[in-house]
Amino acid sequence: MRVVLVGPPGAGKGTQAKVVCQRFGVPQLSTGDMLRAAKAAGTLDPQLVAAMSQGALVPDDVVVGLIDRRVDAADCAGGFLLDGFPRTVPQAEALGALLTRRGARLDAVVQLDVPRSLLTERLIHRRADKKTGQIYHLQYNPPPPDAELEHRTDDQPAAVGHRLDTYEAMTAALLPYYQGLGLLRRVDGVGTPDEVTARMLAALA
């Protein structure tokens, strides 16, 4: 199973990816997580750190390079779920090319659809546990008292609007691209996390 999960910031990609990946026994490849890990390790170019904090995208070749190296790892042999990549048509074309070179191709692109009016609220109150990576929401999915909470710099109100604008501008071309390839499956992302998981599994069946 080689699947791409597309959706605006705050749609629930990370939340759903964790459940779906466990169910199918495939790794979750999140370019956002990879970039944040590089930032935490001090190995990410300061210009890219600044771009991320402001909610801007990093250059296509950076994320394509990350994925190109990652898909050869042993745990990707049975497939993977891409979370947050590709985000642009050039990234999608590069992904197609790097899979073709390996004699592989995508099975589906799942679009997690959530109206913008709900996203700001989800993002501003998002917190993650530094130790476990578990994603919480201060109201909808409150963290346990012993969690070591992290508030992403790009989840501050100033960056959130910019990220949502960027997503809308980018996917205006990305979704029709995958629609044209016959890969796109739309999933309604409004509802409880369990309801959305059930829809995701149905879309992938």
Residue carrying structure tokens 């190296």: 69
Catalytic residue check, 13:
yes
Torsions phi, psi of 156, nearest 5? -75, 145
CB of 187 to ligand ADP, least distance (A): 11
Closest CA to 4 of 76, 107, 101, 102: 107
Catalytic residue check, 18:
no
Catalytic residue check, 105:
no
Nearer to ligand ADP, 51 or 81 (CB): 51
Catalytic residue of the set 13, 36, 122, 127: 13
CB of 200 to ligand ADP, least distance (A): 11
Please name the residue ranges forming H helices in 72-111: 89-101
Residue 42 φ/ψ region, left for φ over 0, alpha for ψ in the -120 to 50 degree band, beta for the rest: left
Report the run of H or E that residue 174 belongs to, with start and end.
helix 157-180
Cα distance between residue 57 and residue 76, in whole Å: 25
| Interface residues toward ligand ADP, by CB under 6 A | 7, 9-15, 31-32, 35, 51-52, 55-58, 63, 84-87, 91, 122, 126, 135-137, 140-141, 154, 163, 191-193, 196
Catalytic residue check, 69:
no
Catalytic residue check, 122:
no
CB of 98 to ligand ADP, least distance (A): 14
Active site residues: 13, 87, 126, 152, 163
